[in-house]
Amino acid sequence: MMNQFTIPLHKPFWGKEEEKAAILAMRSGIGIGGLSYSDLLTEALSDKLSVRYVLPTASGTAALELACACLLRRGHEVILPSFTFSSCANAIMLSGAKPIFCDIDINTYNIDPTETEKHITSKTRAIMVIHYAGLACDMEKMTAMAKKHNLLIIEDAAHALGSKFKGQFLGTIGDIGCFSFHGTKNAASGEGGVFVTNNKEVYKLAEIIREKGTDRSSFMRGERKKYSWVKVGRSLVLSDILSAIALEQVKKLEKITHLRKRNAKYLLKKLERLSSKIILPKEIEYCDTCWHIFAIRVPKLSRDKVIEGLRSYGIEASFHYLPLHTSVMGKKLGYKARDLPVTEEVATTLIRLPMYPQLKKSELDYMVASLEKIL
């Protein structure tokens, strides 16, 4: 389906390099995971993020499922924000554990550390933090809390490839980090993801679960003569063709982040004059953000009307995250409206504006002028 918008919400930053890489990967093998492009992607990410172990996965969802399969079991509880994607709660539930939805901070839209602590029980095994839009959670507070209560941290950094918290890459601070290469993400291979950890035991376990519960990865490295089924696993490996595309994107990551930052800063400056009517995204001193999402809020106006207005000007603005606790599944888990007031306030007033590297100054000006007319 063609996008009917002049300014779409996302646009992958793909060029000749990605096309060439996909063709070379097709010509050099049969496209399965674990071949040379997967190895090159693993190496590139390990270097870039300064993280010891990297496993490319079929999606960001697959990385989350792998993380939860490694760390969780029935009887465990995991605290996570309700303001996130279904994949987070699915991954927890597929491992047998229970998701406990927590409210977010009104400024960052990330899990609120004070609220998180209130949900900790003797069953809590982990906290799943989501760095919304690429803006870091306060990882100092979260890691201190995890240490105090002996909990693990899974970082959902699907939005946050390239973002840093006090100089350290997001996704590498907790016990496991999960990234996405979905077509909408800053670095995109269509579908794809990556699981990272500095823990050797977790890595060894994840490598087996990712490969259908077999020791095939070790066989592929020539460490054993045969491979066999060693535990219950899943099929979560990223194809070598998509690894080749993701590799080119990782090589361009600095450029992608630079252009997104430039566009976001320009929008922030231009939208300042509308600040009596809209709430602009916050910049936090401890975070160097990759600007995956540019989200404004319009608490004094009808959000849906503003989105409709922008769309009528050819701008693909969108709402973001119907909270998980108020979803059909959230209700089945016993949650109800008004359980998490900040989440509901943010989710009903937020508008995502188009954000991608190729946006021209004239398009950004057009977005600002259209918004001004609508307001």
Ligand X SMILES: Cc1ncc(COP(=O)(O)O)c(C=O)c1O
Cβ distance to ligand X smaller for residue 104 or 130 = 130
The reply to whether 87 sits near ligand X by the rule CB under 6 A is yes
Give the largest Cα separation in the chain, rounded.
68
Find the part of the chain contacting ligand X (CB under 6 A) among 1-9, 19-27, 83-91, 240-248: 83-91
Torsion-angle region of 366 (φ positive above 0: left; ψ -120 to 50: alpha; else: beta)? alpha
In this complex, which beta carbon is closest to ligand X, that of residue 160 or of residue 368?
160
Q: Are 257 and 186 in contact (CB under 8 A)?
A: yes
Rounded to the nearest whole angstrom, what is the least distance from the CB of residue 182 to ligand X in the complex? 4
Establish if 85 lies at the interface with ligand X (CB under 6 A): yes
Q: Which of residues 190-249 bind ligand X (CB under 6 A)?
A: 193
Backbone phi, then psi, for 183, in 5-degree steps?
-55, -20
Give the span between the Cα atoms of 156 and 132, in whole angstroms. 9
347 binds ligand X (CB under 6 A): no
Determine which residue in the list 130, 278, 347, 353 makes contact with ligand X, applying CB under 6 A: 130
Nearest to 253 by CA among 332, 299, 303, 185: 185
Smallest gap from Cβ 155 to ligand X, in A, equals 10
Is residue 300 exposed (0-12), middle (13-18) or buried (19+ Cβ within 10 Å)?
exposed
Residue 78 within binding range of ligand X, rule CB under 6 A? no
Stretch 22-61: interaction string toward ligand X, x if CB under 6 A? -------------------------------------xxx
Burial of 217 (0-12, 13-18, 19+ CB in 10 A): buried
Site string for ligand X, 146-185 (x = CB under 6 A): ----------x-xx--------------------x-x---
Compute the Cα dihedral for 36, 236, 126, 282 and give only its sign.
Answer: positive
323 binds ligand X (CB under 6 A): no
**In this complex, which beta carbon is closest to ligand X, that of residue 82 or of residue 214?**
82
- Assign 82 to helix, strand or coil: coil
**Size of residue set near ligand X by CB under 6 A:** 14
Whether the CB-CB separation of 33 and 41 falls below 8 Å is answered with no
- Would you tell me which residues interact with ligand X (CB under 6 A)? 59-61, 84-85, 87-88, 130, 156, 158-159, 180, 182, 193
